[in-house]
Amino acid sequence: MRRGLIAASLAALFQLAAPGVQAHDPSQATYLGNEGVLVTHGDTKVLFDAFYADSYGQYTLVPDDIVESMMAGEPPYDGVDAIFVSHVHGDHFTAKPAIRYLRKHPKVRLYGSRQTLDAIAGELESDDPILRRITVVDLRPHDEAKHLHVNDLDIDVVAIPHAGGPSRAGVQNLSWRVTLDDDTTVIHFGDADPNRPDFDRHGEHFKARHLNAAFPPYWFFGNEEGESIMRTYMDADRVIGIHVPAAAIGNGEAWRQRAGGDLFTDPGESRPLSGDTSADKPDTETPATHVPSDD
Ligand SMILES: [Zn+2]
Ligand SMILES: [Zn+2]
């Protein structure tokens, strides 16, 4: 009784002391590994490229403690609304852990390409109810953007060719732009090739919304065409490079300096996506000296 009273008065005190706190739900992006990102706006939460099993000897896996928290639905991984998958390479998507997650979290939907669905279906009986929770967007690079509106999410998606040349041309690589609660908009590019014409053809789509954050692969930084694409098509409060090799873990500042922009390097690190983010934007004047390539 007494403890309850104290708690209630403390809560009242905090409300008095910080009247603005409830006015706006904070938005945040949390890095999981490679191109895996959790984006939250209050209770609305989405995951990008969060379930995969291959590091290919150089990329970051999602650490076991984060995987366990996601699977258990512990904060901040509780109440996830949707999973988005860029493409089926093993450093972005593996069917088994995604299925395991979908089984444990029956309200979550997964959005992916035809190839993503095929990978999941290959592991399941044809009447498995999980298959009904998958939304397939079967796009090719020349197809127009597709729009979906589901509950608290506005979703716009195009296909951008995978980096690495013609040998990767058969891989459907989707770029998902998601707006949470009409408030927070982010875009993910999967393993997009920094090739200007692939973006020009979807110019109106990319310019249609101001972004709280854009997540291009890190090879856009310091690459002339990649930089031009970021300037032209990423009208974003924050541009954060992803797919940074595991060698950058613990060494993020040096990698960000070299890239001349922000990068996610250490799983678990996060950035606020709402409010005034201008003060802590990294110095983008620094010229890049290292130009990584994708293959
Ligand atoms: Zn790939
Ligand atoms: Zn990749």
CA of 237 to the centre of ligand 1 (A): 26
pLDDT at residue 24, rounded to an integer: 63
279 or 66, which is more confident = 66
Instruction: Tell me whether residue 159 is in a domain.
Output: yes
Report the amino acid identity of residue 170.
Answer: G
Domain that holds residue 70: 26-272
Tens of pLDDT, residue by residue over 64-96, are 999 999 999 999 999 999 999 999 999 999 999
Instruction: Tell me whether residue 170 is in a domain.
Output: yes
Instruction: Tell me whether residue 293 is in a domain.
Output: no
Q: Which residues sit with Cβ closer than 5 angstroms to ligand 2, an ion?
A: 91, 191
Distances (CA, A) of 113 to 11, 89, 117, 158, 248: 46, 12, 6, 11, 30
Tokens describing residue 228: 């031009």
Q: Which residues sit with Cβ closer than 5 angstroms to ligand 1, an ion?
A: 89, 191
Instruction: Tell me whether residue 292 is in a domain.
Output: no
pLDDT at 15 over 70: no
pLDDT at residue 169, rounded to an integer: 84
Percent share of the chain, pLDDT over 90: 82
Instruction: Tell me whether residue 288 is in a domain.
Output: no
Q: How many CB atoms lie within 10 A of CB 247?
A: 12
Instruction: Tell me whether residue 7 is in a domain.
Output: no
Residues 6 or more apart whose Cβ sits within 8 Å of residue 90: 52, 53, 54, 56
List, in sequence order, the alpha helices (H) in the chain: 2-17, 64-72, 95-104, 114-121, 196-200, 203-207, 224-233, 252-259
Report the amino acid identity of residue 277.
Answer: T
How far is Cα 87 from Cα 122, in angstroms, rounded to an integer?
16
CA of 191 to the centre of ligand 2 (A): 5
Q: How many CB atoms lie within 10 A of CB 238?
A: 22
Mean pLDDT of 234-260: 98
Mean pLDDT of 226-244: 98
pLDDT at residue 10, rounded to an integer: 47
Q: How many structural domains comprise the chain?
A: 1
Closest to 263 (Cα-Cα) out of 278, 271, 252: 252
Average pLDDT taken over every residue of the chain: 89
Band of the pLDDT at 187, cuts 50, 70, 90? very high
Instruction: Tell me whether residue 285 is in a domain.
Output: no
**pTM: predicted TM-score of the whole model, two decimal places:** 0.86
CATH number of the domain enclosing 181: 3.60.15.10
CA of 57 to the centre of ligand 2 (A): 12
